Amino acid sequence: MSNSQELVPKTHKYEDYNILEDLTTGAYGRVLKVQLKDKSAKPEIMKCLRYMNAKDKKAADEEVAMLKLAGSKYTVRYIESFKHDIDLCIIMEYCEGGNLREIIEKMKTMPLKERKEKCQIMFFQVLMGLKHLHSLKIVHRDLKPENIFLDKDGNAKTGDFGLAEKIASRSQVYAAGTQDYQAPEAHNFNKMSELSDIWALAVIIIELLTGKHPYAGRDSRETVANICSG
């Protein structure tokens, strides 16, 4: 076999995996914790996206393209993708430490000094992930605790690039994502830039330190009003 042939990665099929856990299900599809039937394999994440019409296909293909482009030690690693029935299945690194939403709850009981130390490390790691994305002219657009994951060593990795978008020659993109973590310009002008990701990170770090969202209102509408009024 030639060297070029050996470098071609093997693409697996849906049937090659055991489903260990059904993590989430939604209108877009579902997310599974899986493992190749080779018992020595590590658990991985399989994200199954609906692939039924032109709009679905465009969104799924764009997410795969972003995952491939965004690869770094500070982002969730893309492994491969393949079609199965009406789905596009994306295989990604499994981060067994959970996500920051879970960590926020755990950190509420930690001594302040320990909380600060952990926040400093995670802030640096997420910031490095964003620096890499922004160097590629990619805006994440949906940075929130649920989209930042921890590996087995506690390293923070940014994931879920379903709403990420390239800025290209423009300085801004249209707003998207979770309202509670959108910067004021997203609400006021329906625009986002790299700075919008940095704003979201600042909110997340404050939430990690204090245990609560700095602009939290009685509901999402009031939270947005608080964000816009500063």
Q: Are 141 and 192 in contact (CB under 8 A)?
A: yes
Nearest 5 degrees, angle CA 187-CA 131-CA 66? 75
pLDDT single digits (tens) 93-150: 999 999 999 999 889 899 999 999 999 999 999 999 999 999 999 999 999 999 999 9
Q: What is the pLDDT of residue 222?
A: 95
CA distance 158 to 162: 12
Flag whether pLDDT at 4 surpasses 60: no
Strands (E), 53-137: 78-84, 87-93
Give the percent of the chain with pLDDT over 90: 70
What pLDDT score does 169 carry? Answer: 52
Long-range contacts of residues 108-115, Cβ cutoff 8 Å, at least 24 apart: 108/211, 115/208, 115/209
Count CB neighbours of 23 within 10 A.
Answer: 12
As a 3-state breakdown, the chain gives helix, strand, coil percent values, each rounded to 5, of: 40, 25, 35
Under 8 Å between Cβ of 70 and 132: yes
- Using CA atoms, how far apart are residues 8 and 5, in angstroms rounded to an integer? 5
Give the lowest-confidence range in 39-43, 67-71, 116-120, 166-170.
Answer: 166-170
Active site residues: 142
Q: Token match 């964003």: residue?
A: 130
Q: Which domains are delineated in the chain?
A: 10-93 (3.30.200.20), 100-229 (1.10.510.10)
Segment 7-56, tens digit of pLDDT: 445 689 999 999 999 998 887 889 999 999 987 789 999 999 988 889 88
Give the DSSP H/E element, type plus range, for residue 113: helix 112-135
Instruction: Report the chain's terminal Cα–Cα distance, integer Å.
Output: 63
